[in-house]
């Protein structure tokens, strides 16, 4: 069994589905990690796993160490890439009106406010109504103009 299967994937899943209010708010005390997450991992393994998951872009966090073995992860959250690794977010092989609308619906589900959720759902509905050929032309234009701007080629 790999480290990913034994340690990192279970931790990523636990962070994504936790009912612990502190974890849902992005706080994890390293000295309490095992009991907060309910995993069969030592606190040091959880610490190392979060660092690894951060290096791969699966989680984001700030980390402040205290004296001794203490420390606190703050702003800890599973990223969209982490959700993809868990199979919770779509992997896009091609951006179409349907796939972009699906992404907006997922954003709506995670929105901080009802207004943000309503806006994301409204945008998803509008995107679904755009013909595929028009959508591709718009995306192509945005990509070309964005590339030109980043290279300083716009007059």
Q: How far apart are the first and last CA of the chain?
A: 56
Instruction: Give me the number of domains the chain comprises.
Output: 2
90 domain-assigned: no
**CA dist., res. 88 & res. 110, Å (int):** 12
SS3 content of the chain, % helix, strand, coil (to 5): 60, 10, 30
Q: What is the pLDDT of residues 10-62, one digit of tens each?
A: 999 999 999 999 999 999 999 999 999 999 999 999 999 999 999 999 999 99
Residue at 91 is within a domain: no
Residues 15, 57: contact at Cβ < 8 Å? no
pLDDT value at 4 more than 90: yes
Q: Which region, left, alpha or beta, applies to residue 110 given φ > 0 means left and ψ of -120 to 50 means alpha?
A: alpha
Q: Of 58, 85, 112, which marks where a domain is finished? A: 85
Same domain? For 105 and 135 the reply is yes
User: How far, rounded to the nearest angstrom, does the alpha carbon of residue 59 sit from its chain's CA centroid?
Assistant: 7
Q: Are strands 28-29 and 71-78 parallel, antiparallel or unpaired?
A: antiparallel
Q: What is the pLDDT of residues 57-101, one digit of tens each?
A: 999 999 998 877 678 999 999 998 898 899 887 666 677 888 889
Do residues 115 and 61 share a domain? no
Its domain, for residue 108, covers: 97-150
pTM equals 0.62
Q: Are the C-beta atoms of residues 108 and 121 closer than 8 Å to each other?
A: yes
Are both 58 and 118 inside the same structural domain?
no
Residue 155 has pLDDT above 70, yes or no: no
């Amino acid at each position: 069994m790999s480290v990913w299967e034994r340690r990192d994937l279970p931790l990523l899943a636990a962070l994504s589905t936790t009912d612990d209010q502190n974890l849902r708010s992005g706080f994890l005390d390293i000295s309490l990690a095992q009991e907060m997450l309910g995993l069969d991992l030592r606190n040091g393994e959880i610490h190392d796993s979060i660092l690894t998951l951060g290096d791969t872009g699966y989680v984001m966090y700030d980390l402040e160490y205290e004296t001794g073995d203490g420390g606190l992860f703050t702003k800890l959250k599973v990223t969209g890439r982490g959700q993809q690794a868990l199979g919770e977010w779509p992997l896009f092989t091609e951006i179409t009106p349907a796939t972009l609308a699906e992404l907006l619906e997922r954003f709506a589900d995670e929105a901080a406010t009802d207004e943000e959720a309503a806006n994301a759902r409204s945008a998803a509905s509008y995107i679904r109504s755009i013909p595929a050929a028009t959508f591709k032309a718009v995306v192509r234009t945005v990509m070309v103009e964005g590339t030109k701007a980043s290279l300083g080629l716009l007059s």
